[in-house]
Chains A and B, each alone.
Chain A
Amino acid sequence: MIEFKKVSKSYDGKTNVIEGLDLKINSGELVILIGESGSGKTTTMKMINRLHEPTSGIISIDGKNIMDINPIELRRNIGYVIQKVGLFPHMTIKENIELIPYLQNWDKEKRAARARELLELVDLDPDIYINKYPHELSGGQQQRIGVARALAVNPDVILMDEPFSALDPITREQLQEELLKLQDELQKTIVFVTHDMDEALKLGDRIAVMKDGRVIQFDTPENILKNPINDFVEYFVGKDRLWKSPEMLYARDIMVKKPATISLQRTPAKALEIMKEKRTDYLVVVDQAGDRPKKVVGFVTPRELRNKTEAEHKMKDIMNTGFIPVSETTNMVEVLNIMKEKRRKNLPVVGEDGYLKGLITQTSILNLFADAITDLDDDEGGDDK
């Protein structure tokens, strides 16, 4: 675990670029530091391996104050990947990867075996690449070597300073995917600096949004998207962001929370009345009336009610039980697919406890779009309110 306690940093002794920073990064977690330039994200990261030292406050790794650790020792146990890669151009790929193991006096066989293993890990064929020089590799391949080099002595913590931002979009995407794959396998504690929100949302277990040397919000990608703590975060995330990542919208965000329901013992006449009152043509049939949690047992639409208007028809007799329940965490993409493939206009949302939580209707989805579009209009219209 990496912990910042009331950390401040000043370069000139007057203004603080980092101001009373508190941050806890759990082991095995990929944390993104994001912010505009000058927000202090890079300084924060570089304080972890003492490339910059805090002016006040304490930074500890697994409970140990990093100022008590020899900086060379500290850095050798922290992987470091930078935007410009910084491979040693006069050394082969093998020599580049083996450098720190060599300085740590690993024997030759162990070093060579490790270099091959790491090349395979970053998806480069050792037989082809191990004796090449950096300039013979593409930018993406070079950064793979950068990552391999950072993993050489198997450090628990890895710092990544905008590692993919100089790459073309396709290569960037590939490397992001592979980082996620690697992380699944290796479970390192990764501190990743970026200014790219798409990248942050894609990679981060948690995202720390920084501004003026402070962490404004430190939360999961979903919460950053859905519940930005203030206008700055909302602006930074971008209001339309949610629409670019529909997989982050879940059934619980789309559904109507109090859908029109009817209990099993009710009559068609009552059903029609409710439909009229609630202006809907879809009623969820539930196991009991009242305010207690209800289980979904079916649904009725005017079609089920046709020709069955007599009082002896109860809901339990005429309801359609072919409903398709979705869980609260089914994402928007899946919801839309189900609606399209099964030709459903309404999907009841059922919680893990088996009770009805809400109903996704075409109108609820439309409303969500309408909200977003209004938001976008507001943005474009400027501040003339």
Chain B
Amino acid sequence: MERMSFFQFFMNRIDQVIRLTGQHLQITGTAVLLAIVIGVPIGILISKHRKLANPVLGIANVFQTLPSLALFGLIIPILGIGLVPSIFVLFLYALLPIIKNTYTGINNVDPAVIEAGVGMGMTYSQILRMVQIPLALSVIMAGIRIATVINIGTATIAALIGAGGLGELIFRGISMDNAHMILSGAIPAALLALLVDWLLGMVEHFITPKGLRGK
């Protein structure tokens, strides 16, 4: 039998690749969205109550430090396998960069600006809404970008516990010793990471307030 080129192999399976890419994005996206919804408020909270900052960042750091495979292994006895535990693990991974960047972004707002705001008679929530968050937005966005890119990588491993995604092709390719199949998963996953990184980089640039871009 004639050996198929990688390109032919890939085109034959293009539907599957597209489906798995969609799944991949879905898992990653859901996890990152959850991490934003939970992480940004936590970041804001610990920037107001600084005593909480170290413990909270410490805990988030633990999840970040654990090897992803180990974390998946730990979570199976509790949540089983499938989509939910996968998203949960990815969510834990995404938390640290988002909390940390929100905290740093808000803390790094020039204290003089805050003092002026308070002295002029702005309330805490007005300062948060009109000054701190707009000024911290690009830093928060950078955190979201890091979290998303890390998650696209980690999500390939989630295929091991049945979450689907491009990792499925990679792992199946490994077990079948089929290099074409491995690459059909690995190349789209790599491109996806690069593309999302670039896109979110653009977003980061455009949400940077105009008054800060010139600097």
Q: Which A residues contact B (CB, under 8 angstroms)?
A: 49, 51, 71-78, 80, 82-92, 99-100, 103, 133-136, 146, 149-150, 159
Query: Which residue of the partner chain, among A74, A82, A90, A92, contacts B121 with CB atoms under 8 Å?
Result: A74
Q: Are B209 and A89 in contact (CB under 8 A)?
A: yes
Q: Are A90 and B214 in contact (CB under 8 A)?
A: no
Stretch at the interface among B29-37, B53-61, B108-116: B108-116
Task: Give 13 A-B contacts (CB < 8 Å), ordered by A residue.
Answer: A51-B115, A78-B121, A83-B112, A84-B112, A84-B115, A86-B114, A89-B209, A89-B211, A99-B120, A135-B212, A136-B214, A149-B120, A150-B120
Closest Cβ–Cβ distance, residue B179 to chain A (whole Å): 51
Q: Could you tell me the distance between the alpha carbons of A46 and B24 in the complex, rounded to whole angstroms?
A: 55
Q: Are B120 and A85 in contact (CB under 8 A)?
A: no
Q: Could you tell me the distance between the alpha carbons of A99 and B123 in the complex, rounded to whole angstroms?
A: 13
Q: Does B51 sit within 8 A of A, measured CB to CB?
A: no
Say yes or no: A85-B112 contact (C-beta < 8 A), given A90-B134, A92-B211, A135-B211: yes
Q: With contacts A49-B119, A86-B112, A150-B120 known, what are 8 further pairs, Cβ within 8 A?
A: A71-B121, A76-B120, A80-B120, A82-B115, A85-B112, A90-B209, A133-B214, A146-B116
> Please, which residue of chain B has its CB at the minimum distance from the CB of A104?
B121
Q: Does B135 sit within 8 A of A, measured CB to CB?
A: yes
Q: Which B residues contact A (CB, under 8 angstroms)?
A: 110, 112-123, 126, 130-131, 134-135, 209-212, 214-215
Give the dominant DSSP class at A's interface: mixed
Q: Could you tell me the distance between the alpha carbons of A91 and B134 in the complex, rounded to whole angstroms?
A: 10
Q: Could you tell me the distance between the alpha carbons of A82 and B215 in the complex, rounded to whole angstroms?
A: 23
**B117 neighbours in A (Cβ, 8 Å):** 86, 88
Q: Are A82 and B214 in contact (CB under 8 A)?
A: no
Q: Which are the 6 A-B pairs with shortest beta-carbon distances?
A: A86-B116, A90-B209, A75-B121, A84-B112, A133-B211, A76-B121
**B210 neighbours in A (Cβ, 8 Å):** 90, 133
Q: Could you tell me the distance between the alpha carbons of A91 and B117 in the complex, rounded to whole angstroms?
A: 13
Q: Could you tell me the distance between the alpha carbons of A290 and B117 in the complex, rounded to whole angstroms?
A: 69
Q: Could you tell me the distance between the alpha carbons of A146 and B112 in the complex, rounded to whole angstroms?
A: 12
Say yes or no: A103-B214 contact (C-beta < 8 A), given A82-B112, A85-B112, A90-B209: no
Q: Could you tell me the distance between the alpha carbons of A88 and B215 in the complex, rounded to whole angstroms?
A: 14
**A133 neighbours in B (Cβ, 8 Å):** 210-211, 214
**A146 neighbours in B (Cβ, 8 Å):** 116
Q: Are B113 and A100 in contact (CB under 8 A)?
A: no
Closest Cβ–Cβ distance, residue A93 to chain B (whole Å): 10
Q: Could you tell me the distance between the alpha carbons of A384 and B214 in the complex, rounded to whole angstroms?
A: 60
Q: Are A51 and B118 in contact (CB under 8 A)?
A: yes
> Please, which residue of chain A has its CB at the minimum distance from the CB of B118?
A51
**B135 neighbours in A (Cβ, 8 Å):** 89-90
Best-surrounded residue of B121, B122, B135 (most CB of chain A within 10 A): B121
Say yes or no: A82-B119 contact (C-beta < 8 A), given A87-B113, A90-B134, A90-B135: yes
> Please, which residue of chain B has its CB at the minimum distance from the CB of A70?
B121
**B212 neighbours in A (Cβ, 8 Å):** 89-90, 135
Q: Are B126 and A103 in contact (CB under 8 A)?
A: yes
> Please, which residue of chain B has its CB at the minimum distance from the CB of A159?
B119
Q: Are B115 and A86 in contact (CB under 8 A)?
A: yes
**A76 neighbours in B (Cβ, 8 Å):** 120-121
Best-surrounded residue of A71, A78, A83, A90 (most CB of chain B within 10 A): A90
**A82 neighbours in B (Cβ, 8 Å):** 112, 115-116, 119
Q: Could you tell me the distance between the alpha carbons of A82 and B209 in the complex, rounded to whole angstroms?
A: 23
**B131 neighbours in A (Cβ, 8 Å):** 88, 90
Best-surrounded residue of A133, A136, A159 (most CB of chain B within 10 A): A133
> Please, which residue of chain A has its CB at the minimum distance from the CB of B109?
A89
Closest Cβ–Cβ distance, residue A131 to chain B (whole Å): 10
Closest Cβ–Cβ distance, residue B125 to chain A (whole Å): 11
